[in-house]
Amino acid sequence: MLAENKMEIFPNLESYTLHYVKNIWRFKNLVSAEKYFINALARSLESYDKSLGELPESIKIIGETCPYKIVYRKNKIIGRNDGF
């Protein structure tokens, strides 16, 4: 499909994104797609190795004030607290 044809079908980024979310990826809406992909990303994270020392204070503050927390099961990261 040529770029000008896509602009006729998808006049803005939101319509293009919604098409992909609903028709290609088969999610109900943007929120469900976001939760799925954020949790998939979270599962690929590694726990901080405390043998490397303390975290810098600026990073500690972000971790303490962030509304999202990493969720563990049996010491393994399984996602983020908003994805369940």
pTM over the 0.85 mark: no
Q: Cβ-count burial of 79 within 10 angstroms (0-12 exposed, 13-18 middle, 19+ buried)?
A: buried
Counting the structural domains of the chain, the total is 1
| Rounded to 5°, angle at Cα 13 from 8 and 18 | 95
Q: Are 19 and 10 in contact (CB under 8 A)?
A: yes
Q: What is the residue range of 41's domain?
A: 3-80
Q: What is the pLDDT of residues 42-70, one digit of tens each?
A: 889 888 888 999 999 999 999 889 998 99
pLDDT of 58: 94
Q: How far apart are CA 54 and CA 52, in angstroms?
A: 7
